[in-house]
Amino acid sequence: MLEEVLAGLRAKPKRLSPTWFYDELGSFLFDAICDTPEYYVTRVELDIMREFGPDIARCIGANAALIEYGSGASLKTRLLLDCLDTPAVYMPVDIARGHLLDAAGALARDYPALRIQPLCQDFTKLFSLPKTVESAERRVIYFPGATIGNFEPEKACALLTGMRSLIGKDGALLIGVDLRKDPWTLERAYNDSGGVTAEFNLNALRHVNRELGTNFALDSFEHRACWVEAESRVEMNLVSLRKQRVHVGNEQIEFQAGEPLRTECCHKYTIDGFAGLAAHAGLVVQDVWLDEEEQFSVQWLSPRTLQ
């Protein structure tokens, strides 16, 4: 962890992995972001799942193992589970242990017939599947929340490639992909008027301080999120409000006044752009479900078969 954080802080521009957002408080704050009026992402994706849940469930079919990457509160999953025909097992995968277990516990209470096998795991690293998942009729990875957009296209491609090998040739992916839209809507979504996203962003420093004994002063950094057209992404930064030094391990990292520390990039795709990325990962987009205003997409992908 220390090495990874240090590597990011030595880079230009300085960066911190978005994984650091998600301690107990961070998970709670993310759920609060989803309730802000400005953050259309969750609201629209939920609408799509409500409208097209039965169609999506038909694609998934009966007795499938559902593996969810970055499951968080498993909110959208409920809409899917309500439509699915006897899922063999549900395996939520998340790095935030407490939140993962709370969500799995709540699901177990509400879906007593469902087999649930939570896994606390960094999904960017290799992991193996339990027998129950391996032996299901087919494996489907569900990856909602536009989390795929948090990866640089190259890393997103590597992640999709890893998913493809995990599902095998008969499996499929169901992914929530946020779409390009007007900059005003995008910047507003990541700068909510209640300051919840700002608090979520700053919490990454609190988390690092606690885990690594660093001394980031939270009141010396300010949240800033802006749309960068050339990269087709919203960049979230913590901007240093003054010249300062932070102790990290045995090093002192210097920040200039106004210097940004990048904490997250949220890439926004066109339908064709995402299909191109998927193709690089050996996947074919089979179906796309959209909201009326075409703000967000839920996409169904399968491995490309060799002729």
Ligand X SMILES: C[S@@+](CC[C@H](N)C(=O)[O-])C[C@H]1O[C@@H](n2cnc3c(N)ncnc32)[C@H](O)[C@@H]1O
Phi, psi dihedral angles at 144 (to 5 degrees):
-85, -175
DSSP 67: E
Closer to ligand X by CB, 48 or 136: give it: 48
Closer to ligand X by CB, 9 or 119: give it: 119
DSSP string, 13-56: SEE--GGGG-SHHHHHHHHHHHTSTT-HHHHHHHHHHHHHHHHH
Q: CA dihedral defined by 294, 300, 304, 305, rounded to 10 degrees?
A: -140
Omega of the bond leading into 92 within 30 degrees of 0 (cis): no
Fill in the per-residue mask, 34 to 63: x = in contact with ligand X (CB under 6 A), - = not in contact: x-------x---------------------
Give the burial class of 184: count Cβ atoms within 10 A of its Cβ; 0-12 exposed, 13-18 middle, 19 or more buried: exposed
Closer to ligand X by CB, 120 or 279: give it: 120
Least distance from ligand X to the Cβ atom of residue 224, Å? 19
Closer to ligand X by CB, 177 or 283: give it: 177
Least distance from ligand X to the Cβ atom of residue 152, Å? 14
**According to CB under 6 A, which one of 15, 39, 71, 118 is a site residue for ligand X?**
71
Residues in contact with ligand X, total (CB under 6 A)?
20
Q: Using DSSP bridges, classify how beta strands 89-94 and 64-69 pair: parallel, antiparallel or unpaired.
A: parallel
* C-beta of residue 178 within 8 angstroms of C-beta of residue 294: no
Does residue 123 belong to the site contacting ligand X (CB under 6 A)? yes
**According to CB under 6 A, which one of 53, 70, 149, 153 is a site residue for ligand X?**
70
Least distance from ligand X to the Cβ atom of residue 68, Å? 7
Residues 135-164 that bind ligand X (CB under 6 A): 144-145, 147
**According to CB under 6 A, which one of 63, 124, 209, 244 is a site residue for ligand X?**
124
Rg (C-alpha) for the chain, rounded Å, is: 20
Closer to ligand X by CB, 171 or 176: give it: 176
Nearest of 241, 183, 261 to residue 18 by alpha carbon: 261
Q: Measure the CA angle with vertex 225, ends 224 and 228; round to 5°.
A: 130
Residues 212-241 that bind ligand X (CB under 6 A): none
Does residue 96 belong to the site contacting ligand X (CB under 6 A)? yes
Does residue 95 belong to the site contacting ligand X (CB under 6 A)? yes
Least distance from ligand X to the Cβ atom of residue 150, Å? 7
CA–CA distance, 97 with 155 (Å, rounded to integer): 24
Closer to ligand X by CB, 97 or 304: give it: 97
Least distance from ligand X to the Cβ atom of residue 34, Å? 6
Closer to ligand X by CB, 28 or 111: give it: 28
Q: Using DSSP bridges, classify how beta strands 221-228 and 233-240 pair: parallel, antiparallel or unpaired.
A: antiparallel
Closer to ligand X by CB, 116 or 241: give it: 116
* C-beta of residue 54 within 8 angstroms of C-beta of residue 85: no
CB atoms under 10 Å from CB of 177, counted, come to: 27
Collect all residues with Cβ–Cβ distance below 8 Å to 104 and sequence separation of at least 6: 74, 92, 116, 118
Q: What is the binding site for ligand X (CB under 6 A)? A: 19, 22, 27, 30, 34, 42, 70-72, 75-76, 94-96, 122-124, 144-145, 147
